[in-house]
Structure 1
Amino acid sequence: MNAQVTRARRVGMGFTTFGAMAAVIVLAAPNASAWVGNLEVSGKDHKVGCTYTLTASVEVDRISTVKFTDNGKELPGSPVSPSLLSNKVTIKWTPSTAGVHKLEARQILISDSISVTVAESGGGSGSASGGCGGGLGGLIPSLSG
């Protein structure tokens, strides 16, 4: 009878361990996709040579760095270390070519990406619409792209 009790305890312990591992996997899975996400780029009507801010949310891991890329090429200043006090991480981006740019923020194995179409700057002399934002954007930094 003593052997049967021991065997039952071992089987029970095995089921308990399996159940605990399954619970950890199920509870951790939804959070895995929330490590880095909600990638955004400032401004609109993006142009070559203008500088924009890329912002990503870091919800779970605020210790691991975030790598930013443009069409697979790492951006200058990347990777960026998140602040322990904020769930946002930012970097400046200045596109050098026109066309579609796939911007990506990656933290360990989790990433988020967006596609942005960049136009030529136009840059004719005296053209207010050819620059980066125009208007008061150069005088008030928070209004510039």
Structure 2
Amino acid sequence: MNAHTTRARRVGMGLTTFGAVAGTVVLVAPQAGAWPSNLEVSGSTHNVGCSYTLTASVEVDRLTSVSFTDNGVELTGSPVSPSLLSNKVTINWTPSAAGSHELKATQTLISKSITVQVDPASSFGSFGCGLNGLLPSLSG
């Protein structure tokens, strides 16, 4: 009976150690993978009143929604649920003020951010939005 008890304790201790190591791997691995792994904004120049697409890559978790913010303010239409078939999540962004904008995608407390410089509105109105990058001398 004594040998049986000793063997049971060793097996129990081995399982406990394995569980602790497995738990540590589960908690640390997502941090290394970073849920939103990339954040991009369409266009090479950005103007007030023009619409752009923000695209976040979600490599690890395609089940949890992604929240998008501009200088800490949640964008209209956010949060966005990822597609199970794609690792991309998109949302439209129309800056309302010139200056520096920190755009951020957050999923399960993990964020990816980029900073974009937004210029004043084009002197051609919404038509000027299509001219950005094509005819820089015409945009105001």
User: Contact 2:51–2:93 (CA<8 Å) still a contact in 1?
Assistant: yes
Q: Which amino acid aligns with 2:73?
A: K
Partner residue, 1:49: 49
C-alpha distance in structure 1 between counterparts of 2:7 and 2:115, whole Å:
57
Q: Which amino acid aligns with 2:9?
A: R
Q: Which amino acid aligns with 1:95?
A: P
What is the CA distance between 1:24 and its match in structure 2? Answer: 4.3
Q: Which amino acid aligns with 2:11?
A: G
Structural mapping, 1:57-96, within 5 Å: 57-96=57-96
- The gaps in structure 1 that reach 5 residues or longer are 138-145
What is the CA distance between 1:13 and its match in structure 2? Answer: 1.4
C-alpha distance in structure 1 between counterparts of 2:13 and 2:99, whole Å:
57
What is the CA distance between 1:58 and its match in structure 2? Answer: 1.2
The answer to whether structure 1 residue 112 and structure 2 residue 109 are counterparts is no
C-alpha distance in structure 1 between counterparts of 2:130 and 2:16, whole Å:
59
User: Contact 2:35–2:107 (CA<8 Å) still a contact in 1?
Assistant: yes
What is the CA distance between 1:16 and its match in structure 2? Answer: 2.4
Q: Which amino acid aligns with 1:17?
A: T
Aligned residues between the structures:
131
Give the alignment's Cα RMSD to 1 decimal.
2.3
Task: Give CA deviations for 1:1-56 in whole Å, capped at 9, x if unaligned.
Answer: x2354144224312322223313432663334332220111111211111110000
Partner residue, 1:102: 102
Could you tell me the TM-score, scaled by structure 2's length? 0.81
